[in-house]
Amino acid sequence: MTEPWFDEQDYTEDYYPTPIYRCIQAELQWDAQAKVNEVCSLLANLEQRIMALVIELPDPHKRVDKLLDLFYTEWLFSGTSQDVPDFQLNSLCYLLQMHSGSPTSLAILLVHLLEVAELGGNLCLTQGDVMVHVGISDEEGYMIDPTNGQQSWYIMPENAKEEDSEPLELVIGEEILKLFLAQQKWAFIGAEKFGHALSCVDMLMSLLGNDPYERRDRGYLLNQLDCPKMAKEDLQFFVDECPDDPTIELIQMQIAELSDYNNILH
């Protein structure tokens, strides 16, 4: 049961600026029916349970173990083998309601709860996979698979060289929102939900500025949505900004087709 005051909150970016709340709020851009307040109430309940662990378990190792036990065994968060569209599994709203998600949505939630537990978790990319990193100290910590909670403990030898360690790309702060939007964009494109994907591009451009690759993707989407003139402008911008990109010939062919289409209309 949620506390009554949670149901009355307006969960805006200003009220909750943390990445997970921004991701949840972003879903309103393509799903006006998203139950944002209800979902944030569910998240608040999880937070309250996790906050109690800070007092109950001062030892960080035991706190990690208990948090993962709650997350995967009691609350049953996991990936899924069912035929669920990727854009749903990426959704934080879907995840918090159904407890099934993609590696990215699960990692975003788990990292948030690790932060609440004062354990300093980070979402990271390693060899293309989304993982969760928990650094207990500069030399030791955990790597956690967000889909099943499987964890590996590591200790860095004192004489270890940086080039000998496995490369980790930490995704922190606003970069989490960018990753979420980018993955949703491609999931929507795969499902031919081009208007939804365009909403993701618009939000990414508000974060990245006039990024040529987002302009390229916007051009593709505008073409799919029968806006050839604007599509051509975006694709031409990409060609001008990234003339050495390996896809440039394909983009130029698309521009030529759009030019022919515009000429026929006139």
**What average pLDDT does the chain have?**
88
- Predicted TM-score (pTM) of the model is 0.87
Pick the CATH number of 4-171 from 1.10.260, 1.10.238, 3.90.350, 3.10.620: 3.10.620
> Which of 200, 92, 196, 109 is closest to 146 using CA atoms?
109
> Per mean pLDDT, which range of 3-7, 14-18, 124-128 is the poorest?
3-7
pLDDT band at 173 (very low <50, low <70, confident <90, very high): very high
- For 177-186, what is each residue's pLDDT tens digit? 999 999 999 9
Q: Tell me the two tokens of residue 197.
A: 């994907």
- CA distances (Å), 70 to each of 63, 74, 151, 224, 256, in order? 11, 5, 15, 44, 56
Q: Which helix (H) or strand (E) holds 122?
A: strand 121-126
For the chain, give every residue range classified as CATH 3.10.620: 4-171
